[in-house]
Structure 1
Amino acid sequence: MKDIKVLGSGCANCRNTIALIDRVAKAKGVAISLEKVEDIQQITTYGIVSTPGVVIDGKVVHAGGVPAQSKVEQWFL
């Protein structure tokens, strides 16, 4: 199971990123733990300046804007 955190304030891009990750994971049959992190202090510990940020298993894989679906699909290979 992949541990995924979406870092951001809860803006539309953050919500769209969460929905996209959830949709791709379900389509690929991958079990994930998906968490939304809105605490600014916690977000800054990952070095994220532009949100939304995506962290998978402790590693930052994306920051700033909604990731392309093709990029998200690569996370689940």
Structure 2
Amino acid sequence: MKLVTVKELSRLLGIEDWRLSRWRRKGLIPCVRMGKTNYYNLESVKKVLKGREKLGNLPFYKTGFARLDDETN
């Protein structure tokens, strides 16, 4: 299990930090809070986003998620 911060995950996905925070608050992506920092399990987030992509139900479809392949490990 690889935990990443908001900044790391936003860089990997190619989206803004605030989008991840919004998705977390809406319960769209899983996260773990340790102290004052939110961490994301990279594999869990990828599974959730890929599942939403298949349904055509991405919160912000214009972002593309082109980097959600296995090369982000």
The reply to whether TM is greater than 0.5 is: no
TM-score by length of 2: 0.31
Answer 1 or 2: which has greater helix percent.
2
Between structures 1 and 2, the one with greater strand share: 1
